[in-house]
Copies of this chain bind each other. A is one copy, B any other.
Amino acid sequence: MNEFMKAAYEEAAKNLETNEGGPFGAVIVKDGEIVAAARNMVLATNDPTMHAEIAAIRAATKQLGRCHLDDCVIYSTCEPCPMCMAAIMWARIPTVYYGADRRDAAAIGFADNAIYEYFQGTAAEKAVSVSELDRRECVQLFERWAKKNDRTLY
């Protein structure tokens, strides 16, 4: 195996011995060195966002003291779900390597593929009711923020 994927695999394998989360691991690499390694900790933390990739992004950004990782690569034992893939984009990580894919995750009971279908517009049923409310006031707040001289985009 690739040495970094092997490190992600070893993170994931820890959850074969625990009930702390699913069999998923990820590492983030900068300049050929691992800066963060993490595994899924959804059950241990009760945090449904604590997927391996998000845990690794949180650890790497904390370690490096910045919110963008545009000089990093992420290795994940499973294709990132849409939550994690969008997190990778917000973190500006340009390169992703993954092992098993969304259909392999579906085969062991996870919703990754179903969530992809929601975004592709091909889902059989609508998983969530989503409605607009009070748009005018919220857009006014955006306009006030856009006039702020010291605002920072990220």
Contact = CB atoms under 8 A, between A and B. Distances in A.
Contacts of A89: 111, 115, 118, 127-128
A129 B47 contact: no
A66 B47 CA distance: 8
In the assembly, how many copies of this chain are there? Answer: 2
Contacts of A68: 48
Interface residues of A, number: 90
A90 B83 contact: yes
Interface string A94-122: 11111111001101111100011011110
B58 A141 contact: no
A129 B115 CA distance: 20
Interface of A is mostly: mixed
Contact of A132 (B101, B121, B148): B101
A38 interface: no
Nearest to A82: B86
A120 B118 contact: no
Contact of A23 (B79, B85, B145): B145
A35 interface: no
Interface of A: 1-2, 5-6, 9, 12-13, 15-16, 19, 22-23, 42-43, 45-49, 54, 57-58, 61-62, 65-68, 75, 77-79, 81-101, 104-105, 107-111, 115-116, 118-121, 127-135, 137-139, 141-146, 148, 150-154
